[in-house]
Amino acid sequence: MSDSFQDALAGLAAIVGDKHVIASRADQEPYVVDWRGRYRGRAVAVVKPGSTAEVASVVRYCADRRLAIVPQGGNTGMCGAATPDDHAGNVVIRLDRMRAVRDVSPLANTITVEAGCILAEVQNAARDVDRYFPLSLGAEGSCQIGGNISTNAGGTAVLRYGPTRDLVLGLEAVLPDGRIFNGLRALRKDNTGYALKQLFIGAEGTLGIVTAAVLKLFSPPRSSALALVKLQGVAQALEIMQRLRGVVGDRLGSLEIMSRSQIEAIAETVPHVTIPFELTTPWYLIVELTDTLAGVDLDEPLATALADAMEAGIAKDVILASNLAQVKAIWAVRHSVSEGNKRSGYVVSHDSVVPLERQADFVTNVEARIMAAVPHARVVMHGHIGDGNIHVIALIDHAHCQEPATTAALVAQINEIVDDETAAQGGAISAEHGIGITNRVRLARVADPLDIELMRGIKRLLDPSGLMNPGKIFGAGAA
Amino acid sequence: MSDSFQDALAGLAAIVGDKHVIASRADQEPYVVDWRGRYRGRAVAVVKPGSTAEVASVVRYCADRRLAIVPQGGNTGMCGAATPDDHAGNVVIRLDRMRAVRDVSPLANTITVEAGCILAEVQNAARDVDRYFPLSLGAEGSCQIGGNISTNAGGTAVLRYGPTRDLVLGLEAVLPDGRIFNGLRALRKDNTGYALKQLFIGAEGTLGIVTAAVLKLFSPPRSSALALVKLQGVAQALEIMQRLRGVVGDRLGSLEIMSRSQIEAIAETVPHVTIPFELTTPWYLIVELTDTLAGVDLDEPLATALADAMEAGIAKDVILASNLAQVKAIWAVRHSVSEGNKRSGYVVSHDSVVPLERQADFVTNVEARIMAAVPHARVVMHGHIGDGNIHVIALIDHAHCQEPATTAALVAQINEIVDDETAAQGGAISAEHGIGITNRVRLARVADPLDIELMRGIKRLLDPSGLMNPGKIFGAGAA
């Protein structure tokens, strides 16, 4: 290690304490590789500050020495946005020690948390005061709320509660020059100038490090009903959504869809998950209704609406969950999609969103185009009906992915197919996963050049040296 | 008029057509004065383009000639943000001719509208397809949706549906250099980079001109119940909110509060409004419950919860509206606050928002401090319980406001009191009205200098010449 790096380690240790600076390669391992093992980078140090002031000091220290900063949450992201690149001078900042729930107000329906809080901890802190924090996703046991905010995480409750952006009332962030943006206000309305906090939400740590936030809470769902519907396709799922809205209004909680091939991939590879229904149709829709009142009978309207849909030929079969075990068994399938896909081959994953009217065509076209171009691919899909967001995933047998160059070419080919079809349908290539490293070339290819110009302008404004999470969203040399 | 202004009129007429350029002082009158008559400016022309392309051409034309541009919606704003200053070279752009509802999708729950649409037209277009656009405010019969978006309008449905920002899925805007930002996508999720559209929402036309938007629709409320509650103060109103949440979950539609003095000001000055209840307590709370299902009995839980609140001494009296006429009569009082105040004296109006826990103290303190400093003021209040937003209004007898300088000093004195108390309670000086001309000095006084620096940076980035709605938010010379 160079002298200047030795100096940096000492300088960082002087700020956060020796034991919160990780310098050895072996100990850094969990932080320099993304959880899927796609990206591997290097770092002079992984630093764990204990307060916003320490984060600010670390950032200022790095800025003064032109060390690049990589903010990292729970390292559960889908696009490599929290993984350092392979320059040796990166400093990874983890907020694991900033995990306090600073305040919960059941009156104001707000919770104030530090960015290192695990999502499940936020959910639990809300539950403790009989409130509900709706953000819910597969990684909730290990992802951190700061990362959720920085990636504007989606998940299974967007249909009713919106993405993370809609759940953030206030936030605090350390800017690339070490100054602290203090927007940590528990205010439901604020029209005092430009919406600065919005810049940090979904910016993937390229404009600063989110250190704390005030989040919205809700009345908890106290009644619910769940069914699994077997059906022919996405068009039928949308028709069922329409019918349910007519019958239950805004009580639609989740509408999650999976293709038969998606469920088969899970059945074949995830031994601890049993598929609690027979696979007899091309698509499977999980319908969950919720009400914030206890004792509301949602089973009856759900059963009636779905029976009507069967009679009309829209649903092929309906399984109503009659107990909690059944509910859990059905959700277990949905929550195993990432694991099942990872075990089934090399995953070329997409996150397109299109207008709802285009969703059925999108799915049909994109599958046909991938299969025509890459006959050995296996296309599986799952997604969020009502959001317009379907994850199209091409699983490639590892035998076809031995050579990095071949794999890269294959991935690029499939990405272009999906992106072109997404553009043709008026959509966007990332609904909830973000850009990170994975999608920066794709974004540059499909985005309006004006959008990129404005984004680069904002990046330069906040981070003129380009040291804050370099190489993410824009690719290298953004600033 | 100077030759260059004559040239400009001809140039603008060449873009939009002769009859859509208003050059005469008399015809410009409705557009160069704000609706309250506080601000009067000048313009070389008021221009009414008929399309986004024409808006872009007009903006480019003005940018090339260094003519300042003032975007104006329905001219119903509270802070003068749409009124030109007194330089002669302003061009006011009105989108009255861009009034098309381009698309309504009951499937996707979206509506695509041009910015000149009157808010009530948007509401009606939604209603026509059995959907609901929740934005609702006093000026809905004349304000334009482009103005609502540019000011991030609030209103009486924020408690349940959020401010305008939360209702915008996509938008199109003409930038200060005449280029078109094309974010007009009907997508419920989009994580492809920075949230550019958020910049234009609430920017009061200082970063560009919103020309069209895709908005969220909802299932319409089909059941409702309304009551008027007489009570001692804001703390009791919050306690009732808490109790209602426990009983009806998320069915709380509106919680609007008025002080006795507020209602008296209406009773004294607005002859066509009758107060349908006796004034026997210091405060009055309108409670509206709504459900998206038809035939839901909300009267019974409302009556029970409020009877319990009376028994506990929290509510002093309760009037349940038993028919639509009663509902309308109660809402008529609330919708007359602006008119009543305007007729009662010179209005020094505030729009503070504070955390809910601080709302009762804020109200008590600010009233006491104003009365101590300005004994001849009459303090009236109305606001949105649950949002933390109470409008504190000092009405000054016109006899005390004869001299502009005296009036200005009095206003500044009252503003400082309210702003200091707002800051002391952790709040913001504008919840929903914005900054415009009225509040720019106040914002500069109370805002974090870092926030102002970032806002000015964004302004410079998008509008380096400072020609887009100059003098708003920041005061003159922002760019």
User: In this predicted model, what pLDDT tens digit does every residue of A15-73 receive, in sequence order?
Assistant: 999 999 999 999 999 999 999 898 999 999 999 999 999 999 999 999 999 999 999 99
pLDDT for B189 equals: 95
Q: Which of A144, A112, A105 is nearest to A128 (CA)?
A: A105
Task: Give the Cα separation of B74 and B61 in Å (integer).
Answer: 24
Same domain, A184 and A233: no
Closest partner CB to B182 (pick from A166, A238, A448): A448
Distance between A436 CA and the closest CA of chain B, angstroms = 9
- Measured in angstroms, the CA of B202 and the nearest CA of chain A are apart by 7
Q: Can you give the pLDDT at residue B5? A: 86
B174 lies in some domain = yes
User: For B27, phi and psi rounded to 5 degrees?
Assistant: -70, -25
- Are the C-beta atoms of B221 and A476 separated by less than 8 Å? no
Give the closest-approach CA distance of A200 to chain B in angstroms: 8
Among B152, B196, B386, whose Cβ lies nearest the Cβ of A454?
A: B196
Q: Between chains, do B202 and A189 touch, taking CB under 8 Å as contact?
A: no
DSSP labels for A64-100? Answer: HHT--EEEESSS--SS-TTS--S-TT-EEEE-TT---
- The Cα-based distances of B162 to A53, B104, B438 in angstroms read 33, 21, 24
**Whole-angstrom Cα Rg for chain B:** 23
Decide if B360 touches A, using CB distance below 8 A. Answer: no
Determine the Cα angle at B206 with ends B204 and B210, to 5°: 65
The conformational region for residue A377 under phi > 0 = left, psi -120 to 50 = alpha, else beta, is beta
A329 shares its domain with A350: no
A130 Rama sector, left if φ>0, alpha if ψ -120 to 50, beta otherwise: left
Closest CB to B189: pick one of A387, A426, A448: A387
Confidence grade of residue A5 (pLDDT, cut at 50, 70, 90)? confident
Distance between CA atoms of residues B90 and B70, nearest Å: 7
Q: Identify all chain A residues contacting B291, using CB atoms and an 8 Å cutoff.
A: 249
Q: Are residues A105 and A157 in the same domain?
A: yes
What is the DSSP secondary-structure string of A162-193?
A: --GGGGEEEEEEE-TTS-EEEE----S---SS
CB contact under 8 A, A431 and B187: yes
- CATH number of the domain enclosing A59: 3.30.43.10
* Inside any domain, residue B470: no
Hunting for tokens 């022309």 — which residue is that?
B45
pLDDT of residue B138: 86
Tokens representing residue B295 in the block: 């035939």
Task: Express each pLDDT in A208-222 by its tens digit.
Answer: 999 999 999 999 999
The 10s digit of each residue's pLDDT in A315-357 is 999 999 999 999 999 999 999 999 999 999 999 999 999 999 9
Q: Which of B302, B337, B372 is the last residue of a domain?
A: B337
Same domain, A232 and A320: yes
A298-319 confidence digits (pLDDT tens) = 999 999 999 999 999 999 999 9
Helices (H), B73-200: 119-128, 145-150, 158-161, 196-200
A449 touches chain B (CB under 8 A): no
What CATH number should be reported for the domain holding residue A235? 3.30.70.2190
Average pLDDT, chain A: 95
Are B191 and B251 within one domain? no
Domain-embedded: residue A463: no
Instruction: Tell me how far apart the alpha carbons of residues A190 and B433 are, in angstroms, rounded to a whole number.
Output: 9
How far is A460 from A477, CA to CA, in rounded Å?
Answer: 11
CB pair distance less than 8 Å for B192 and A429: yes
Nearest CB among A250, A387, A447 relative to B292 is that of A250
Question: Same domain for A310 and A358?
Answer: no
- Maximum distance among all Cα pairs of chain A, rounded to whole angstroms: 76
* Residue with the two structure tokens 């904002």: A458
Instruction: With a threshold of 0.90, tell me whether the complex ipTM lies above it.
Output: yes
Residue B450 lies in a domain: no
Q: Does B424 touch chain A (CB under 8 A)?
A: no
Q: How many angstroms away from the CA of A110 is the closest CA of chain B?
A: 10
Are B201 and B273 part of one and the same domain? no
Shared-domain flag, residues A272 and A379:
no
Domains contained in chain B, number: 4
* Domain boundary, last residue among B216, B238, B265: B216
The sign of the CA dihedral B89, B92, B97, B101 is positive
User: Is the Cα torsion angle A121, A125, A130, A134 positive or negative in sign?
Assistant: negative
CB contacts of B166 in chain A (<8 Å) are 162, 166
What CATH number does the domain containing A404 carry? 3.30.70.2740
Whether residue B187 and residue A427 make contact (CB cut-off 8 A), yes or no, is yes
User: Does the beta carbon of B219 lie under 8 angstroms from any beta carbon of chain A?
Assistant: yes
Q: How many angstroms from the chain centroid is the CA of residue A62?
A: 28
Name the DSSP letter for residue B33: B
Cβ atoms within 10 Å, residue B299: 17
Contacts of the segment A453-461: beta carbons below 8 A, 24+ positions apart: A454/B181, A454/B194, A454/B196, A454/B461, A454/B462, A455/B193, A455/B194, A455/B196, A457/B461, A457/B462, A458/A199, A458/A207, A458/B194, A458/B458, A458/B461, A459/A206, A459/A207, A459/B194, A461/B454, A461/B457, A461/B458, A461/B461
pLDDT score, position A71: 98
Give residue B226's identity as a one-letter amino acid code. L
Give exposure, A248-271, as e/b (b: 16+ Cβ within 10 Å).
bbbbbbbbbbbbbbbbbbbbebbe
With cut-offs at 50, 70 and 90, classify the pLDDT of residue A476: low
Nearest CB to B431; choose among A165, A190, A432 = A190
Is pLDDT above 50 for A478?
no
Q: Which domain holds residue A72?
A: 3-94
Which pLDDT band, with edges at 50, 70 and 90, does A2 fall under? Answer: confident
Short-list B347, B439, B440, B427, CA closest to B395: B347
Please, are residues A348 and A394 in contact by the beta-carbon 8 Å criterion?
Answer: yes
How many angstroms separate the CA atoms of B202 and B149, rounded?
Answer: 6
Segments in A377-448 forming alpha helices (H):
404-424, 440-446
A441 at B interface, C-beta within 8 A: no
- Are B182 and A388 within 8 A, CB to CB? no
Burial B300-332 (b: 16+ CB within 10 A, else e): ebbeebbeebbeeebbbebbbbeeeebbebbbb
> What digits encode the pLDDT tens for the residues A148-193?
999 999 988 899 999 999 999 999 999 999 999 999 999 999 999 9
Asked if A329 contacts A276 with a C-beta cutoff of 8 angstroms, the reply is yes
- State the alpha helices, DSSP H only, in B425-462: 440-446, 449-462
In a domain, B42, yes or no: yes
> Are B280 and B321 members of one domain?
yes
Cα separation, B55 vs B50, in Å, equals 8
For position B2, what pLDDT does the model report? 74
Tell me the Cα Rg of chain A.
23
A248 vs B293, B430, B432: nearest CB: B293
pLDDT of residue A1: 61
- What 3 state SS string does A354-375 have? CCHHHHHHHHHHHHHHHHHHCC
φ, ψ for residue B447, nearest 5 deg: -75, 155
**Cα B161 to Cα B126: distance, rounded to the nearest angstrom:** 15
d(CA A99, CA B443): 33
Judged against a pLDDT cut of 60, whether residue A479 lies above it is answered with no
Judgement on whether residues A207 and A231 belong to the same structural domain of the protein: no
Whether A143 and A233 share a structural domain? no
Residue that finishes a domain, picked among B299, B314, B337: B337
In a domain, B409, yes or no: yes
**A:34-93 residues touching chain B, CB 8 A cutoff:** none
Angle at alpha carbon of residue B452, lines to B367 and A187, rounded to 5° = 45
**A356 contacts chain B (CB < 8 A):** yes
> Do the chains contact at A190 and B428, CB–CB below 8 Å?
yes
Whole-angstrom Cα distance, residue A382 to residue B401? Answer: 66
Note down pLDDT in tens along chain B; length 479 residues.
Answer: 677 889 999 999 999 999 999 999 999 999 999 998 989 999 999 999 999 999 999 999 999 999 999 999 999 999 999 999 998 899 999 999 999 999 999 999 999 999 999 999 999 999 999 999 999 998 999 999 999 999 999 988 899 999 999 999 999 999 999 999 999 999 999 999 999 999 999 999 999 999 999 999 999 999 999 999 999 999 999 999 999 998 898 899 999 999 999 999 999 999 999 999 999 999 999 999 999 988 899 999 999 999 999 999 999 999 999 999 999 999 999 999 999 999 999 999 999 999 999 999 999 999 999 999 999 999 999 999 999 999 999 999 999 888 989 999 999 999 999 999 999 999 999 999 999 999 999 999 999 999 999 999 999 999 999 999 999 999 754 43
To which residue do tokens 């002031």 refer? Answer: A53
Considering the domain boundaries, does residue B455 fall inside one?
no
Taking the CB of residue A464, how many other CB atoms lie within 10 A of it? 11
Looking at the structure, tell me whether residues B197 and B262 fall in a common domain: no
- Token representation of residue A20: 């919160």
pLDDT at B477: 45
B16 domain residue, yes or no: yes
Q: What is A260-302 written as a DSSP string?
A: HHHHHHHHHH-TT----S---SSEEEEEEEEESSTT---HHHH
Distance CA B209, CA B52 (A): 10
Pairing mode of beta strands B389-396, B346-349? antiparallel
Nearest CA-CA distance, residue B131 and chain A, Å: 10
Give the whole-angstrom CA distance, residue B84 versus residue B356.
Answer: 36
